[in-house]
A = this chain, B = another copy of it.
């Protein structure tokens, strides 16, 4: 009855039954396997994806082939390469499921159709992008807090539910350190705390 997507978007500004129908008709459900990628670097990001269940990572690969996690998204969060989606230029990033997941996807053309037929979505998605902007800016700030240990503690604080759920390799990649060094940090914290 209550569609997860209308429930989520309606929490910003209430939506009429009509508006909900327009929305639901353009959101396609999709099951994603663990390790499956829903965006490959080189492709244009064609969808905004809303996570109903599971967990994803947005990551880039550097010149030397190392992966770097930029962002995680779990239940009730959105994931997309916002840059590629809006410019329709190839993405430099990948989006991969870290767990078996279930998502709703809205295609770029459909979102722009919805923008004109449900004008309040313009406002809602402006707010969503603002929130994502704040998230990524906090990430830049967090990277400043000098030591890797400080950054790890900040990560624990910010994602208490994800820290038990994600493998250390993924957390290390997010923090910009090696898994080995994350092990060292954990040991040091244990010895003291």
Contact = CB atoms under 8 A, between A and B. Distances in A.
B70 A140 contact: yes
B87 A134 contact: yes
The number of times this chain is found in the oligomer is: 2
A129 interface: yes
A167 interface: no
A63 interface: yes
Interface in A123-156: 123, 125-127, 129-130, 132-134, 136-141, 143-146, 150
Which bracket fits the contact residues of A? 35 or more
A183 B133 CA distance: 33
A132 B92 CA distance: 17
Given A64-B146, A68-B144, A126 B122 contact: yes
Interface in A94-118: none
A87 B127 CA distance: 10
